[in-house]
Structure 1
Amino acid sequence: MGGQAFAKSDPPIPTPRMPPEVYAQVLTQTHAVLRTYFGHVDSAVEAPGKETYGDVDILVYGPFNPTWADLEKGSTTVAETLAKALGAKKYLSQKGNPTVNFAIPWPGQDIEDMTKEDKCIQLDVHTCFSLVSFKWELFHAAHGDLWNIIGSTIRPFGLTVNDQGMYLRIPEIELYDRKKSMIFLTANPSEVLEFLGLEEERWWRQFRSKEHMFEYATGCRMFRVKEADDPNEAEEDMTGEAAAAITHNIDGQEGGEKGKKKLKHNDRQRMAKRPIFKEWIDEFIPRCRERGNFRKPRASREQIQQEAITRFGVQEKFETRLKEWNLVKHQDHLWRVVIKGSIPLDGIDPALRAAATRTLKSTIMEGVEFEGVIPKAATKDEDGFYDIDEVRRFVMGNWEAAGRIGLARQDAKAREAMKVKAEKREKEESDARERKRKEVPA
């Protein structure tokens, strides 16, 4: 199947897969056209061994020529301008989406003579909004499934590479909130490859075969293959994110059926959709295990974490994020476990208990006075942490008094609300009488 962007057009436009010679011809021609409009035009290095291509993907970065001001004067969009220049039969563009899909004639066809049955080629032009993102996307999209392979290698070591850059994950946070655990390191391809121990010059050329690409991936200094099974060793009951979060004794990739169980859910899904990644897991890694290759540990998660912190200068960010996270957890524990959890449940009037929790929370966590004073339990250290034992003692010794105070406050609020409501009703009735009086003829 080819690109599918135009499959639901009215009428549908056929865009079948292309043989390599057609792909190469279209790539060269469209690059030449787009370079007359953009300062930077390129396409990511393709995966090895592809026999057909579904579409043509091109990255561009400005400045666009003619300028946006020139286009606005002529009521023409960038997409319309490029469609004419590329001889496109149709294009698809959505506001806010940096990618425009073009259906361009198959080489040898004239747009004027095309029928609805004639096949086209799907060309996707993606606009980057900075030179940094242009270079990074070229890097990140290179070689097809290679980043899936490298990603499964570096993930247990606390590193993540996505379409924005390389990140270090904080182990204490990632199982609870993966996004908040991520500290940005760099979006510089050279820095990433150097840190991972991969040869940069080789990266920017297409691999001759999948095997050559697999061998390149093993150059990552975090790559290790698990030793052959010990028949007396119990099988680990650990899968997915739990396995990926181990910080000690990372014993290498296993591959095969047992190895699949330790992959993240996303990686297991990739195996079903990405044949090259599946071959890496199902065939290449087991083959390395049989040969006894790559068994020696080359790094630990702790080592990689400290190297990344030092190399990319993120010590302060790392410590601040961890401190903020620990403070949030501390406050949540203080409220749910220490305050609410220290008030008895059995045989207690629910209204009294609810009033006690509200009062104690306002006193300890919000600084409201309790019987005319701020208790010691409400005191925080310089980092914002409470003395848990002191809070627990205060709650257990004062929850009944807090409940009575809370009920009294609640009653006072209710009386005040009733008073306001009565005054409002009286005013409305007074205004109505006044309007009625004015309507009566003299």
Structure 2
Amino acid sequence: MGGQAFALSKPPLHTPRMPPEIYAQVRAQTHSILRKYYSHVDSAIEAPAKESYGDVDTYVYGPLDTAFESSETGSIVVAQNLAKVLGATKFMRQTRDPIINLAIPWPERGDEEEEEKKEGKYVQLDVNICSTLTSFTWSLFHSAHGDLWNILGSTIRPFGLTVNTRGMHLRIPEIELHDRKKSMIFLTNEPSQILKFLGLDEERWWRPFGNWEEMFEYAAGCRMFFVKESVDDKGAPGEATSEGETKGNGDVEGQIGGEEGKKKLKSNDRRRMAKRPIFKAWMDEFIPKCRERGTFENARVTRKQIQEEAIRIFNIKEEYQTRLREWNLEKQKGDLWREILLDCVPLEGVDPVLRAAATRTLKSTIMDGLEFDGVVPRASWKDDEGLYDQGEVRRFVQENWERAGQIGLARQEARSLERIKANTGKKAKENEVLAEVEDRKRKEAPV
């Protein structure tokens, strides 16, 4: 929440940004207290050279007492118990995330002025409760070094890789242009495997960086990072969709940075530049400086190579092929309906009722395999991959749409007659029952 969780509470609490010494003091005290109640307690490595902090983020896993076990006592009770042991004045629970925001009194220091002590300042402490040891480890890894994952994310994205709150994923090029979420296949959430795959030193990852430049040089060590030689170059083949990214399996364009690179950024990256000084410095200063120095000019891998390596190393070949095949099948069905069944049936000069009946009949014949005039046409056959011969489908539709309309109307009329017969029979049955009831009433009536 960046220290603003209690700004709108009633009454609002003043949680100003903390200087490094206050942050370090509160973090150490928090860890010391929480280790009495959880087996794992830690905070992510902070970004380098931070001058102030909005809140203290702490991750916990493995309750040692049932009072801190949500499944035993419920999350509200856990929040109350955390507030009690941490000396919080107020707490809030996040609706969708297992995060408890707590406001604890600002630590007093001997050098504070009397007026400063009366301000009623608080520190926002966020306790992230992890349900598994894996999620605990991943959270510390994914949150480490502040904006480092924003930087790495913009580097690996053009190569078909995405790292989010769950882990690292490979995107299938043919699918991502239409549905990014469906295109992603989970690879791993093991930090060591990810760092190795990206070509980054694991031992160095788990130590703080002294300054931004040091962190930038580390990020540039990713084997997918390279700088476009000149911002005036036309670049590699493919239509760019964001900085360094091309559609499909085209070669990847190098990082551009600066004002020209900003134009090609995705909207969320542009927002990061406006709000995140480290990411802005990476784009505006570090990348252009690499171009000036002539460093990181050559691409070390292609998107195709990364794709093939990911499939082999993380053993996802079967899932990749299945996902792509299912997508192609679903996509072809949509294409058949839009581009053939609808487009090849004339619109002008045709009775709308006949046209609607024709498209329904053609769809049931081709996609559902129903007989057409007593036979199953070749247009409904599929190959070994489950795909239709689109040329055969188009020919069949163009030659038979009118007959399909006649069949459809006949079927519609037959269904209507069946409904009329059913309703007539139902009405007759109801009349018969009513007559029996009336007859019984007459017989039972007193004379």
Secondary structure (helix, strand or coil) at the match of 1:62 reads strand
Could you say which residue in structure 1 is the equivalent of 2:81?
Answer: 81
Secondary structure (helix, strand or coil) at the match of 2:48 reads coil
Contact 2:67 2:73 in 1 (8 A): no
Could you say which residue in structure 1 is the equivalent of 2:189?
Answer: 187
Could you say which residue in structure 2 is the equivalent of 1:396?
Answer: 398
The Cα shift of 1:435 comes to 6.8
Contact 1:71 1:78 in 2 (8 A): no
The separation in 1 between residues aligned to 2:432 and 2:213, in whole angstroms, is 90
Secondary structure (helix, strand or coil) at the match of 1:7 reads coil
1:76-115 maps to which residues of 2 (within 5 A)? 77-94=77-94, 97-108=97-108
Counterpart of 1:271 (choices 267, 273, 276) is: 273
Could you say which residue in structure 1 is the equivalent of 2:60?
Answer: 60
Contact 1:343 1:399 in 2 (8 A): yes
The Cα shift of 1:206 comes to 1.0
Structure 1 residues 70, 123: closer, same or farther in 2, change over 3 A? closer
Contact 1:20 1:52 in 2 (8 A): yes
Contact 1:243 1:262 in 2 (8 A): no
Could you say which residue in structure 1 is the equivalent of 2:381?
Answer: 379
The Cα shift of 1:199 comes to 0.8
The Cα shift of 1:264 comes to 1.5
The separation in 1 between residues aligned to 2:432 and 2:77, in whole angstroms, is 63
Could you say which residue in structure 1 is the equivalent of 2:346?
Answer: 344
Aligned length: 438
Paired amino acid for 2:399: G
Could you say which residue in structure 2 is the equivalent of 1:301?
Answer: 303
1:249-264 maps to which residues of 2 (within 5 A)? 249-264=251-266
The Cα shift of 1:64 comes to 4.0
**2:128 counterpart of 1:123:** no
The Cα shift of 1:414 comes to 2.1
Q: Which runs of 5+ in 2 are unaligned?
A: 110-116
The Cα shift of 1:248 comes to 2.9
1:212-227 maps to which residues of 2 (within 5 A)? 212-227=214-229
Structure 1 residues 332, 71: closer, same or farther in 2, change over 3 A? closer
Could you say which residue in structure 2 is the equivalent of 1:291?
Answer: 293
The Cα shift of 1:230 comes to 4.7
**2:199 counterpart of 1:197:** yes
Secondary structure (helix, strand or coil) at the match of 1:12 reads coil
Cα deviation digits, residues 203-235 of structure 1 (max 9, x gap): 11111101111111110011101113458999x
The separation in 2 between residues aligned to 1:359 and 1:241, in whole angstroms, is 47
Counterpart of 1:163 (choices 138, 162, 165) is: 165
CA RMSD of aligned residues (A): 3.0
TM-score, with structure 1 as normaliser = 0.91
Structure 1 residues 395, 315: closer, same or farther in 2, change over 3 A? same
The Cα shift of 1:244 comes to 4.5
Structure 1 residues 402, 116: closer, same or farther in 2, change over 3 A? farther
Cα deviation digits, residues 84-120 of structure 1 (max 9, x gap): 11011111125653101111111139xxxxx995111
Cα deviation digits, residues 375-423 of structure 1 (max 9, x gap): 2222222321122222222222222211111001111222333344445
Secondary structure (helix, strand or coil) at the match of 1:39 reads strand
The separation in 2 between residues aligned to 1:233 and 1:386, in whole angstroms, is 37
The separation in 2 between residues aligned to 1:277 and 1:437, in whole angstroms, is 89
The separation in 2 between residues aligned to 1:40 and 1:96, in whole angstroms, is 22
Which is worse superposed, 383-392 or 424-433? 424-433
The separation in 2 between residues aligned to 1:76 and 1:324, in whole angstroms, is 43
Structure 1 residues 67, 57: closer, same or farther in 2, change over 3 A? same
TM-score, with structure 2 as normaliser = 0.90
Contact 1:175 1:241 in 2 (8 A): no
The separation in 2 between residues aligned to 1:69 and 1:294, in whole angstroms, is 50
Which is worse superposed, 252-261 or 392-401? 392-401
Paired amino acid for 1:361: K
Structure 1 residues 344, 249: closer, same or farther in 2, change over 3 A? same
Structure 1 residues 249, 372: closer, same or farther in 2, change over 3 A? closer
The separation in 2 between residues aligned to 1:264 and 1:233, in whole angstroms, is 18
Contact 2:199 2:223 in 1 (8 A): yes
The separation in 1 between residues aligned to 2:280 and 2:118, in whole angstroms, is 38
Contact 2:67 2:77 in 1 (8 A): no
Contact 1:244 1:263 in 2 (8 A): no
Structure 1 residues 65, 95: closer, same or farther in 2, change over 3 A? farther
Q: Which runs of 5+ in 1 are unaligned?
A: 110-114
Could you say which residue in structure 1 is the equivalent of 2:284?
Answer: 282
Paired amino acid for 2:127: V
The Cα shift of 1:69 comes to 7.8
Structure 1 residues 366, 220: closer, same or farther in 2, change over 3 A? same
The Cα shift of 1:76 comes to 7.7
Paired amino acid for 1:105: P
Secondary structure (helix, strand or coil) at the match of 1:252 reads coil
Which is worse superposed, 213-222 or 265-274? 265-274
